[in-house]
Chain A
Amino acid sequence: MAVVVLVPGMVTGARVVGTTPGVQFNEAELQLLQTFGPWPATPPPDPGNRLSGKAWAEQLGLQLFHDPDLSGDRSISCATCHQPSRGFADGKALAEGASAHVRNTQSLWNAGFQRWFGWDGGGDSLWAAAIRPMLSPIEMNGDITDIARRLRSKKFFTSALGDADPPVDDASDEALFVFAAQAIGAYTRILVSAETPFDRFRRSLLQPGSGDVNYPLAAQRGLKIFLGPANCHVCHFGANFSNQEFHDTGRPFFSAVGQVDSGRYTGIKRVRGDRYNLSGPYNTTGVAAEIRKTKSVKLNQQNFGQWRTPSLRNLIHTAPYTHDGSLATLRDVVDAYADINPDRLHSNGEAILKPLPLTERDREDLVAFLRSLSAE
């Protein structure tokens, strides 16, 4: 097996060589690294959303995203919890909307690359994911009639509608409400984070002569562990570091004494029963391949306590971590995986999850690698 050795001031075959002491990456690892880029990438269209990709809709969505009139008492906007200055999260362990939530606010960076939305995947599009918090009593606690009335009073909303669209006055409250959600979906789709130190290092390995070879040695070692013994890449796969599906990683999911938040199990039921899912009347594109996932997703008891594999990009801006915000730092995350309690996992469950014999340095190296996945 061929091995690329990064040694200061040398060239190995066609590879660019670093100026810092380097870590060896073999051909298999380099092949894997191919799958983690290029970055930034362009997200696919928001499914079922005819506004997706339209600049005016994205601009309208941005305004609506910050508009508290979409909440019941006009005090909360999407940006109240998804704060741009905090990585489109809120820095809190558990979200606080109209009342206390049992889940951590997820970052919206790179949400457009997801297949499902929310920790439980209860939304099958960005626009459906925008509707749920607006109507949730514990989040924005909005009401369709009230929101539609407020939307009608806004001049920018009227002017945004193109000639082909029905006049705002003729649209039903619900249609107007969904239109607003689809504009928000169009906006959140374009929240793509910038290139990171990892991306530049990856390029230097795969495209000799480009990228950045001055990638911290600790991060290089961490990458090696990520691709190798820790097996992180099996779920945190691809340019957005997520396989877009759901797993039980042994994290507790009690939301209070005597109550559980069953994650994906609830999410599948929710998406199936959602009036605003891709099979419903407000899908405005009708692309069969997009609807298939909603119709074909299986409900299985293994979904009980599964959570969406989050992207690993921009983590330094989005602490704390996991569905309930119970891990405060990236080091806590690494420790939680390394010291995973096998008793939390069924003996016939996800076989790759097992305690990892990582040294103190290994753990810090993994943290250094994870930090390098954030845009400065």
Chain B
Amino acid sequence: MNKSLHRFYLSCAAAVSLLGASSFVQAQQPLAIADVHVHYSHDSVEMTPPQRVIEIMRAASLKFALVSSSDDNGTQLLSKLAPDLIIPGLRPYRRRGELSTWFTDPGALAYVEKLLATNRYASLGEFHLYGDDANLEIPQRIVELADQYNLILHAHSDAQAIDNLLALNPNVKVLWAHAGFDSPDEIAQMLTKHDRLWADLAFRGEVGSGGLDESWIKLFTDFPDRLMLGTDTYTPERIFYIPEQASSAREWLKALPDEIAERVAWKNAHDLLMPVWLANRDSDGMAAAGSPSASCEIADNDTAGTAVVMGGDLSVKIQPQSAIDVSAAFAVQLTLCGNDLRDTEIQLDATMPKHGHGMNYTPESTVTTHTDSQLSVRFDGVLLHMPGTWQWQVNVVRAGVQTALTHDFEIQ
């Protein structure tokens, strides 16, 4: 073998080796995730040692976690054990179970003030607060403290309470827990309205369940800098869900462009929380920084339970194909009428708004008619497993524009 040929072989071998190493490294490093909704409360401390919690977080390849606990001891234990991993937040709860009383309880406020005087945090929350309760004396003081100590408010609230909190002080920023359990449209409205609002998607099982639907993709695309991930370890057992949450998110984030996926996965949390935390961690305790439609033909043979729902130029007929019995599978025919329906998709779901859950199954869909003015789809395997008030949710995506239509009904 001559020298130059030998060098060629060597360089090829090196390149292959490097490529192999690169692939190997990539395979070993899943997308980093920041989990901004972790609680490690007193009962959780009793059940799972802090070392084990840190192991779980590291096994989940978390970049960092925002932890707030009832009481604060759990947060401090984790923070001391893994300062590189834990960003501490302060909950106004001394024990679990104070979520509906804290905002009228002077003891809760005294507890917060005492801890703020001694420990360092990045956020105040997660607390539960709804409507005009945000204007009560204690929540007002909490907002003042957030400004004074340069803390992000982490609020499990409805939109009205978020409006109120942000109106109380022009400097505070709010991380909206669970994005208020609102729909993507409603979240978008709030994020448009408030530039000091971010949202976590903890305990939002519908996000990415069975793939990421268009409405969520649109939300992430329109607000690439404002949304982040969380688990919500509201019971001790949920600590063990942290890796599942992270791996599930890694799957559905694949539906987003890499840059946005990375932002949602950890960068948004980093950009919101890390400057605050680094400044507060090294501070002396006080603020470290400023802060009409076409109509559907109603056939004479409509079955019981048939409903027609209108929205703009769209109307949709929801037609169960048999009697609806609790916990028995049945089929539903949807007939959508409107203009320019060629580039249109339609989805059917059902939820129990008062119960906080929906169906346990994704019905199987078959398009039966698709013209410019009509889209008919049959959904098999619809199963409503409890008696009570259900809500049909029909999601129409026409040329990329989403319309949500709903209809409440009762089954016994």
Which A positions have Cβ atoms within 8 angstroms of B?
Answer: 31-32, 35, 115, 233-235, 237-238, 243-246, 252-254, 257-260, 262, 265, 289, 292-293, 295-302, 304-305, 341-344, 346-352
Contacts and interface: CB of A to CB of B under 8 A. Distances in A.
A252 B237 contact: yes
Interface in B336-357: 354-357
Given A244-B327, A244-B385, A245-B327, 13 more contacts: A237-B387, A243-B326, A245-B385, A245-B386, A258-B48, A292-B380, A292-B381, A296-B363, A298-B360, A300-B205, A300-B360, A350-B356, A352-B355
Interface string B84-105: 0000000000001101000000
B237 A351 contact: no
B354 A351 contact: yes
Interface of B: 47-49, 52, 96-97, 99, 128, 156, 178, 181, 203, 205-206, 209-210, 232, 234-238, 240-241, 244-245, 248, 326-327, 329, 354-357, 359-364, 380-381, 383, 385-388, 412
Nearest to B248: A301
Contacts of A244: 327, 385
Secondary structure call for the B interface: loop
B361 A298 contact: yes
Contacts of B235: 305, 343-344
Contacts, number: 121
Secondary structure call for the A interface: loop
A35 B380 CA distance: 24
B232 A258 contact: no
A350 B385 CA distance: 13
Given A245-B385, A258-B49, A343 B97 contact: yes
Contact of A300 (B178, B209, B355): B209
A295 B356 contact: no
B361 A297 contact: yes
Contacts of A348: 178, 181, 203, 356
14 contacts: A234-B388, A253-B237, A295-B364, A296-B381, A298-B209, A298-B359, A300-B205, A301-B241, A304-B241, A346-B232, A346-B356, A348-B178, A348-B181, A352-B355
A31 B410 CA distance: 15
B234 A346 contact: yes
A300 B97 CA distance: 25
B195 to A, nearest CB: 26
B329 A293 contact: yes
A131 to B, nearest CB: 23
A243 B206 CA distance: 22
B237 A262 contact: yes
Contacts of B386: 234-235, 237, 243, 245
Contacts of A301: 203, 205, 241, 244-245, 248
Nearest to B326: A237
Nearest to B41: A343
A245 B245 CA distance: 23
A32 B412 contact: yes
Contacts of B96: 343
Contacts of B380: 289, 292
Contacts of A115: 327
A249 to B, nearest CB: 12
Contacts of B356: 346, 348-351
Nearest to A344: B235
Contact of B240 (A234, A257, A260): A260
Contacts of A347: 99, 128, 156
Given A235-B386, A258-B49, A351-B355, A296 B237 contact: no
Contacts of A350: 355-357
B359 A254 contact: no
A344 B97 CA distance: 9
